[in-house]
Structure 1
Amino acid sequence: MPAANKIRARLTLLAAVALLWLAAWWLLPQFLSLQMLAAHDDTVRTWCRQHTAVALGILFAGYTTVTAASIPAAALMTMAAGWLFGFWSAFVVISFASTLGATCAFLISRSLLRDAMLARYGHQQQKLLLSVERNGAAVVLLLRLVPTIPFFLVNILLALSPIRLRTFWWASQLGMLPGTAVFVAAGASLPSLKTLESQGTAGVLNWQTLTAFLALGCLPISFRLLFNRKIGETTAHDQ
């Protein structure tokens, strides 16, 4: 593709992404805000049970958009979905929606940022890029299992690496399952959405939830030990 056409295509993609991002930030808080759902929680829950397929479709589209646009509302949406639909329905839909949204963000970041970032910093990060290329799935799993790293940042960082799309997809799907399960279960245990709206995530803290979060926090530590061992074996083999 000629350079001029390539630049034009990237500018078009950038404009489309900007419009999507602005629309998501403006529309979603008005139509799918936690405050709106909490104010009519019984009515909304009844409607979701009467129109389950449509409601789950709306959840899938909304969650995918939120994730792709990097709007910091995923945790609250996950718990709200657990309360509205129950554990299994919410868990399955959010698992696939979060992965699709992350993949969209990954592809957009790769198209817009990768060439420029590699041209500027690639020579300084050869060892890191080589490690990701050799251990792509393990890197994705480790990053997804660390709850303190924002997922949108993970999407961008991995987009700059040579990791394959298929590997990013399945490793993200697998790596986000534990966190999704914990947040959906926490939401399913809520007495009402008003509790979540007024108290935030602190409103769902009980000993079962705390135990689940503790276990979730231990996962990346265990996985990192295994990952470091694998990296050490790979390095020794190369030498």
Structure 2
Amino acid sequence: MSENTTKTSAKRLLPLLVILAVAVIGAFTLRDHLNFEALSENREALTAFRDTNFVLAALIFIAVYIVIVAFSLPGATIATLTGGFLFGVFPGALFNITAATIGAMIIFLAAKWGLGEKLAAKMDGSDGAVKRIKDGIDENQWSMLFLIRLVPAVPFFVANLIPALVGVSLWRFAVSTFLGIIPGGVVYTSVGAGLGEVFDRGETPNLGIIFEPHILLPILGLCALAALPVLLKTLSKKKA
């Protein structure tokens, strides 16, 4: 490998390395600041600023949310609750979902530019099981992308990296991310919209609400719907 090639590879990895470094630093320095207690303590100041500067408050909120997601900083759930608390279910959910999608796209592009393109090319040029896995993902990209977004057990950061490493296009990633996080985004935004009463009672919100049957079952239904094309293709290949 030539010196120029090595330098080019290092430059391509730089954005991803910066994200990882900031994520590690943020995990230790911000975890005690971006939490429910901080939101509770500053709720009056936040609502007062929103009431007098709604557009600016919305823009600042979206920008902060993008940074939190793009650098995988702690506090994404609190940010979603804040969106509901400050702006209601609508437009709060729209702000949350849009910001989360943009932040996810930043991670996706950094990973794709630094590692994804080379890895996808190697997988395409390989033989055996690796090639079959890559082909299977390529044949069912939309279904797989929606599945990893809809399944609550898949960490958001992981769902941002996997598509980048298997050669998914930015367009497909952006659309599937935006649509795929709507169910969870609306649920947590609605929880945030009711935080005023929770604060008044001196309680904490139920962040496990997404795993309650009346919420989880519809989401699992969407997962099954997303997986249906994969199942049908598999069955048709077996018959053939």
The bucket for the TM-score relative to the shorter chain is 0.7 to 0.9
* CA deviation string 1:117-173 (max 9, x = no partner): 875896442122112222212211111111111111111111111221111111111
- Residue aligned with 2:152, SS: coil
- Structure 2, unaligned stretches of length 5 or more? none
The reply on whether 1:3 has 2:5 as its aligned counterpart is yes
Sequence identity of aligned pairs in percent?
22
Runs of 4+ deviating beyond 6 Å: none
| From 211, 214, 223, the counterpart of 1:211 | 214
| From 56, 64, 83, the counterpart of 1:62 | 64
Q: How does 1:79-118 map to 2 (within 5 A)?
A: 79-114=81-116, 115=118
CA contact (8 A) 1:38 1:193 kept: no
* CA deviation string 1:85-134 (max 9, x = no partner): 11112111111111111111111122233335875896442122112222
In 1, Cα distance between equivalents of 2:197 and 2:60: 20
Q: How does 1:47-196 map to 2 (within 5 A)?
A: 47-114=49-116, 115=118, 119=122, 123=127, 124-192=129-197, 194=199
- Residue aligned with 1:148, SS: coil
CA contact (8 A) 1:24 1:65 kept: no
What is the one-letter code of the residue matched to 1:129? Answer: K
CA contact (8 A) 1:182 1:213 kept: no
Give the Å deviation of 1:228.
1.5
CA contact (8 A) 1:190 1:196 kept: no
- Residue aligned with 2:72, SS: coil
Give the Å deviation of 1:15.
4.6
- Residue aligned with 1:201, SS: coil
In 2, Cα distance between equivalents of 1:60 and 1:66: 10
- Structure 1, unaligned stretches of length 5 or more? none
RMSD of the TM alignment (CA)?
3.3
TM score, norm. by length of structure 1: 0.81
Residues 141 and 49 (structure 1), Cα distance of their counterparts in 2 relative to 1, 3 Å cut? same
In 2, Cα distance between equivalents of 1:7 and 1:210: 48
In 1, Cα distance between equivalents of 2:172 and 2:120: 21
In 1, Cα distance between equivalents of 2:21 and 2:176: 29
In 2, Cα distance between equivalents of 1:27 and 1:14: 20
- Residue aligned with 2:196, SS: coil
Residues 231 and 163 (structure 1), Cα distance of their counterparts in 2 relative to 1, 3 Å cut? farther
* CA deviation string 1:28-53 (max 9, x = no partner): 55775432221121331222122111
